[in-house]
Structure 1
Amino acid sequence: MSPKQQRGEATVEQVLDAALGVYAASGEPGLTVSAVTKASGVSPGSLYHHFGSIDGLVTALTLRWLSRLLDRLSGALQRTRTARTGIRAVVRAYLDFLREHPDAARLVHSATADRYGMEHAPQIRAAQEARLSPIAGWIQARTAAGELAPLPGPLLESLLLGPVIGVARRWLSVGDVDLDEAARTLPDRIWRSVRP
């Protein structure tokens, strides 16, 4: 990689880090070109060069953290030996991600991220394929082995992650969910819905 490319990548990382800080402090309405350039120390021209617009920046920031969440879930699954322990590992990994990165999790679960996801689902799926394939492969292998109910992959994925995403949204928005209790309770409840 050339020095120019390295500087470009460093600038992108600097802007993304600053943008998350602005989002944490001011929410989505505070994510403006002025606020992000002030926090990051880069020029507006550099922001537009790398992201095209503030919407492009928000999209890049959301996809960055979605990638990190998916990497965490995939890594948790790969270290398990059974469907049941895999479910437990995914629930714990997801909830740990929330605790460790609440601002990023709030962005990933935001209405803006939902809107973008609905409008660009095929592109997001294609861009995240490297991260999603190990999860889909794990589900397929466990289904083929008879450890999970013989349901279509997307339905199993929804049953596995839907309750965790619901808890995440509730914790992020209302704050009345005990994540330790969720980590103890959800895996067995999810297991009952997907076991053969």
Structure 2
Amino acid sequence: MSPKQQRGEATAAQVLDHALELYASRGEAGLTLGAITSASGVSAGSIYHHFGSLQGVVLALAQSWLGRLLEELAGALEPVEGARDGVHAVTRAYLRFVQKHPDAARLMHSVTADREITEHARQIRGAQEARLAPLAAWLHAHQQSGELVALPLPVLESLILGPVTGIARRWLSVGDIDIEEAARTVPYHIWRSVSP
């Protein structure tokens, strides 16, 4: 990587770090181009160069943290063998990630991030393909062995991650869920929905 590319990556990372800090301290309304330039010291022109727009910053930030989450989920599957243990491991890993990184999780689960992710779904899916591949391969292998219900993989993925995403959103926004209890009890119920 050339020095110019290294500087560009460092600048982009600096913008994303400060954008997350602003989001955490000021909320969505406080995440403005002016606030990012002021906090990061990066010019508006440079931000537009790297991200295209403020929405591009939000999308890049959500995509970066989504990548980290997917890596943790894939890592949670490595030491387990059976489908039941894998479903439990993925569910718990997701909830631990949300607890460990609440500000990033709040942004990832926000309406703004949802809108950007929906609008750029194919692009994001392509960018995350390397991280999604181990999860898809794991699901497929356990489906083929008869340990998981025979449903299309996107449906199966939704049955496993959909409830966890809903719990995470509620814990992050309303706070009326005991996430530790959810981590203990929800994996069993998700497993029941995907076991043959």
TM range (shorter): over 0.9
Q: CA 1:120–1:43 in structure 2 vs 1: closer, same or farther (change >3 Å)? A: closer
What SS does the corresponding residue of 1:9 show, helix, strand or coil? Answer: helix
Deviations 1:100-158 (A, max 9, x none): 11010011101112112222222221121111111111000000011111111111111
2:40 maps to which residue? Answer: 40
Q: Match of 2:99, as an amino acid?
A: R
TM-score (norm 1): 0.96
Report matched runs for 1:46-195 at 5 Å: 46-195=46-195
Q: What is the Cα-based RMSD across aligned positions, in Å?
A: 1.0
Deviations 1:34-63 (A, max 9, x none): 101111121222212211211111111111
Identity %: 65
Q: Could you tell me how far apart the structure 1 residues matched to 2:159 and 2:6 are? A: 42
Assess if the C-alpha contact under 8 Å between 2:18 and 2:40 holds in 1.
Answer: yes
Measure how far apart 1:78 and its partner are: 2.3
Q: Greater CA deviation, 122-131 or 88-97? A: 122-131
Q: Could you tell me how far apart the structure 1 residues matched to 2:178 and 2:114 are? A: 24
Runs (4+) of structure 1 moved beyond 6 Å?
Answer: none
Q: Could you tell me how far apart the structure 2 residues matched to 1:47 and 1:121 are? A: 22
1:31 aligns with 2:31: yes
TM-score (norm 2): 0.96
What SS does the corresponding residue of 2:164 show, helix, strand or coil? Answer: helix
Q: Match of 1:43, as an amino acid?
A: S
Q: Could you tell me how far apart the structure 2 residues matched to 1:84 and 1:164 are? A: 16
Report the number of matched residues: 196
Unaligned stretches of 5+ residues in structure 1: none
Unaligned stretches of 5+ residues in structure 2: none
Measure how far apart 1:8 and its partner are: 1.0
Q: Could you tell me how far apart the structure 1 residues matched to 2:78 and 2:155 are? A: 20
Deviations 1:50-84 (A, max 9, x none): 11211111111111111111111111122211111
Q: Could you tell me how far apart the structure 2 residues matched to 1:80 and 1:127 are? A: 26
